[in-house]
């Protein structure tokens, strides 16, 4: 469903996408620092703490921006029927994601 959005909403969307790139890169660095720590590099703990602080500071602001400044305002671009379809797709995505996550957790415990 493509919609033409205002330049203001376009800028917010661009910012959100940049933030998603930053957060993925930061999580990747966190995983790498954790692997280094697990291999015995105790100095990695400072990097882990710094990255976790960065993420803790980032996510509440990012989520508020998504919810209040983008997702709610752009709903006006969609008809009631389109909104219901989007909501249904979101619920299905979340339902499957959660199911897949916990299926992996159960499989991990079954192996042990």
* Residues 27-60: tens digit of each pLDDT: 999 999 999 999 999 999 999 999 999 999 999 9
pLDDT over 80 at 103, yes or no: no
Overall average pLDDT of the 20-24 stretch: 97
85 in the same domain as 72 = no
* Residue for token pair 């499989």: 107
Q: What is the mean pLDDT of the chain?
A: 92
Task: Let me know: does 55 contact 30? Beta carbons within 8 Å.
Answer: yes
60 in the same domain as 111 = no
User: Which stretch, 3-7, 34-38, 107-111, has highest mean pLDDT?
Assistant: 34-38
Number of domains in the chain: 2
Cβ contacts of 38 within 8 Å, gap of 6 or more: none
112 in the same domain as 69 = no
Of the pLDDT bands very low, low, confident and very high (cuts 50, 70, 90), residue 79 is very high
User: Which pTM value belongs to this model?
Assistant: 0.74
pLDDT the model gives residue 67: 93
Distance from chain centroid for Cα 74: 19
Distance CA 46, CA 20 (A): 24
Which residue range is the domain that position 84 belongs to?
79-112
Nearest to 36 by CA among 25, 54, 26, 48: 48
């Amino acid at each position: 469903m493509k919609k033409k959005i205002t330049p203001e909403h376009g800028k917010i969307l661009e910012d959100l996408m940049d933030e998603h790139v930053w957060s993925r890169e930061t999580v990747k660095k966190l995983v790498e620092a954790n692997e280094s720590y697990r291999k015995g590099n105790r100095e990695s703990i400072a990097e882990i703490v710094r990255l976790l602080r960065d993420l803790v500071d980032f996510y509440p602001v990012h989520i508020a921006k998504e919810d209040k400044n983008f997702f709610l305002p752009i709903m006006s671009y969609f008809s009631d029927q389109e909104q219901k379809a989007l909501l249904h797709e979101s619920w299905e995505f979340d339902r499957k994601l959660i199911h897949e996550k916990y299926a992996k957790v159960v499989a991990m415990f079954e192996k042990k």
